[in-house]
Amino acid sequence: MKNFLVHNNEMKNSMLESIGFSSVEDLFRQIPDEARMKELNLDNPLSELEVQRKVKSLAAKNKTGFINFMGGGVYNKFVPACIPQVAGRFEFLTAYTPYQAEVAQGTLQVMYEFQTMISRLTGMDIANATVYDGATACAEAVLMAVRISKKSNKILVHKNLNPEYLRVVKTYAWAGNIQVEIFDRIPENLQDYACVLIQNPDYYGEIRELAAVEDSLLIVCTDLSTLSILKPPAEYGADIVVADIQSLGIPMNFGGPHAGVIACKEKYMRQMPGRLAGRTVDKDGNQAFTLTIQTREQHIKREKATSNICSNQALMGLWVTLYLSVMGEKGFRQAGYLSTLNAHKLADGLVEKGYRVLNDNFFNEFVVEVSDADKYLDKLKETNILGGIKLDDKKVLVAVTEMISDEDIDLYLTGV
């Protein structure tokens, strides 16, 4: 355990000598003075009781309790109280790599049930047990499509894809020598492209009428909560479906943790990254769960690995599995119906007040045109409302979920 002890002066001097420095100060002298912190300016040491009081006083400065109409990929959704109680149990929460089949049957079964639920929602044959988030899922699906097509390193991405997702896709594409072309309308000839990536509903909330494409793979990025009402992507020709799963019972928490998922047709499953849990029987004929078709570099030769994703978001997958189990089909549909109903109530109210809603068809998210986006949002904030996401000086993206009441909608309309 000596390697975990604090370095003594002899060890420090030895390391400095090996890299040609005589002191720690010499080591850091190459950093410009303006970039160096002279002192920490820390308060005097405090007792535990005093620290608690200090932290509480700092926390009291936070403004909380806003009525939330913000979306754009992160949504204020109802989370049944039992979910954090179950997901927070130490058997799930403290497990690091809980995939050994002989000791992790519970976690593996959760992953299997999660995959089954995602397959049912999307209509696809198979789903993986999570990647990092929706952006990563899009990027990994693009790489997956290029591997499948084997004919082109060019891809088409719709201009209304979530801009954060698009940046991640471009980064992956740059590293993989893949050409990204942005489009508005799908070209008639797709022979030169490995895939077409479209978000539906798109980043601006618009529901798109899509159909299968020829000579290329169709990747659909979707909000899984919208599939409580909208038809699954498989019904309009999707080859691969990707999503961020936050809207299915995962609370908003300063941007994370989230998780992403990829679902696809069975013939493409060996090119799908992430983990796949399978169900089989043991030597005694009892039901058993295990990881299967493991295509990550921890399990097979690096050059054959589909992805370098090693960490897993299975705990977030557990949240989703619990959410869908507790809500049930009826509750899931009801939450989607309320989101849509509330969104259209607000949109209609804004139109009556003279604003212009730019969407033709939307689920629970829409764009409203205003004279001054900053003034519009600041005025709402004065009434304790986060009114949406500023898209530009005259457009605001507004999201409405089942968490919004009629009183909240009236307050919004009064505030503008």
pLDDT of 280 over the 80 cut: yes
Q: What is the pLDDT of residue 166?
A: 98
Average pLDDT over residues 337-348: 98
46: confidence class by pLDDT, cuts 50, 70, 90: very high
Q: Is 116 or 40 the better-scoring residue by pLDDT?
A: 116
Specify whether 308 is located in the same domain as 353. no
Does any domain span residue 139? Answer: yes
* Least trusted range by pLDDT, from 84-88, 226-230, 312-316: 312-316
Are residues 232 and 156 located together in one domain of the fold? yes
Q: What pLDDT score was predicted for residue 301?
A: 65
Average pLDDT over residues 243-272: 93
In a domain, 46, yes or no: no
Q: What is the pLDDT, as a whole number, of residue 304?
A: 72
Pairing of strands 365-369, 395-399: antiparallel
Residues 313 and 407 in one domain: no
Per-residue pLDDT at 150:
87
Q: Tokens standing for 129? A: 């047990």
Q: Are 238 and 280 found together in one domain? A: yes
pLDDT over 80 at 364, yes or no? yes
**287 pLDDT above the threshold of 60:** yes
Q: Which pLDDT belongs to residue 385? A: 97
Q: What is the mean pLDDT of residues 274-288?
A: 91
Q: Is residue 172 one of the residues assigned to a domain?
A: yes
pLDDT given at position 187: 86
Q: Are residues 197 and 344 in the same domain?
A: no
Domain-embedded: residue 353: yes
Say yes or no: 311 and 362 in one domain: no
Query: In terms of domains, do 197 and 258 share one?
Result: yes
Mean pLDDT of the chain: 92
Domain boundary among 277, 293, 321: 321
What domain count does the chain have? 2
Q: Does residue 260 belong to any structural domain of this protein?
A: yes
Q: Is the domain of 335 the same as that of 306?
A: no
pLDDT of 4 above 70: no
Same domain, 74 and 109: no
Can you tell me the mean pLDDT for 313-327? 94
- Asked whether residue 258 falls in the same domain as residue 197, the answer is yes
CA distance 380 to 173: 40
pLDDT at 384 over 60: yes
Q: Assess contact for 92 and 108: CB atoms under 8 A.
A: no
User: What's the pLDDT score for residue 99?
Assistant: 65
Query: Do the beta carbons of residue 63 and residue 309 sit within 8 Å?
Result: no
User: What does the pLDDT read at residue 307?
Assistant: 77
| Domain-ending residue, one of 295, 321, 347 | 321
Domain of residue 345, CATH code: 3.90.1150.10
Percent residues over pLDDT 70 in the chain:
94
**How many of the other CB atoms lie within 10 Å of CB of 179?**
14
The confidence score (pLDDT) of residue 90 equals 84
- Asked if residue 203 is part of any domain, the answer here is yes
- In a shared domain, residues 211 and 346: no
Cα–Cα distance between 128 and 121 in angstroms, integer?
A: 13
User: Which residue has better confidence, 72 or 106?
Assistant: 72
- Using the predicted structure, report yes or no on whether residue 138 has a pLDDT greater than 90: yes
Which pLDDT does position 25 carry in this prediction? 87
- Is residue 19 situated within a structural domain? no
Q: What pLDDT, on a 0 to 100 scale, did the predictor assign at position 370?
A: 98
260: tokens are: 């992403």
pLDDT at 300: 64
Are residues 238 and 98 both part of a single domain?
A: yes
Query: For residue 243, what is the domain's CATH number?
Result: 3.40.640.10
Q: What is the pLDDT of residue 309?
A: 73
Contacts of 123 (CB under 8 A, 6+ apart): 232, 233, 234, 235, 238
pLDDT recorded at residue 30: 86
- Integer-rounded Cα Rg, in Å, for the chain is 25
pLDDT at 399 exceeding the cut of 90: yes
Residue 340 makes CB contacts below 8 A (sequence gap 6+) with 229, 363, 364
pLDDT tens digit string along 182-207? 999 888 889 999 999 999 999 999 99
pLDDT at res. 312 = 67
pLDDT band for 260, please (50, 70, 90 cuts).
very high
Please report the pLDDT score of residue 1 as a whole number: 47
Range of the domain at 130: 82-321
